[in-house]
Amino acid sequence: DAGVTQSPTHLIKTRGQQVTLRCSPISGHKSVSWYQQVLGQGPQFIFQYYEKEERGRGNFPDRFSARQFPNYSSELNVNALLLGDSALYLCASSLGNTAVGDYNEQFFGPGTRLTVL
C-alpha cells in the first residue's frame, strides 16, 4: 500500500509569492495534519483537517490556510511568503480524529522542502 505522498518534493519561491503544497493520505485515512519543520528544529503543528473540516489550528498567521477535498487529500496554501517560511512542510494522515480519546497513529509523508529567496 502506498504511504502518505506529498508534492512537490522541493520548491523555490521568492518573497511575496504564494505557494500551494499537496498531500495525499493513506487510502482509508480521513484525517490530515500539516506541520512546519524549520531547519534544526522539531516540527510545529499548523492545521488538522478531518472529514473536510478544520479540527485544529496552531499558532500560525492567517497567511497560512488549508483545505481538504472529498477524497481526503489536502492542500496547504501560504500567501505573501517570507524568508522565515523556508522549511520542510510535513503532512501526516490518520484513520480518524481523536476527540474521543481513541488512539490513531499518524503516518508522515516525506515532506516538501520550501525555500524562499
DSSP string, 87-112: EEEEEEEESS--TTS-----EE---E
Residue pair 35/107 in contact (Cβ under 8 Å)? The answer is: no
- 29-58 residues in contact with another protein (CB under 8 A) are 31, 33, 35, 40-45, 48, 50, 55-56, 58
Q: What is the CA radius of gyration of the chain?
A: 14
When the beta carbons of 8 and 16 are compared against another protein, the nearer one is 8
Question: Shortest gap between Cβ of 90 and another protein (angstroms)?
Answer: 6
Residue 12 and residue 52: Cα distance in Å, rounded?
Answer: 28
Is residue 110 close enough to count as binding another protein by CB under 8 A? yes
Residue numbers at the binding site for another protein (CB under 8 A)? 31, 33, 35, 40-45, 48, 50, 55-56, 58, 88, 90, 92, 94, 97-101, 103-106, 108-111, 113
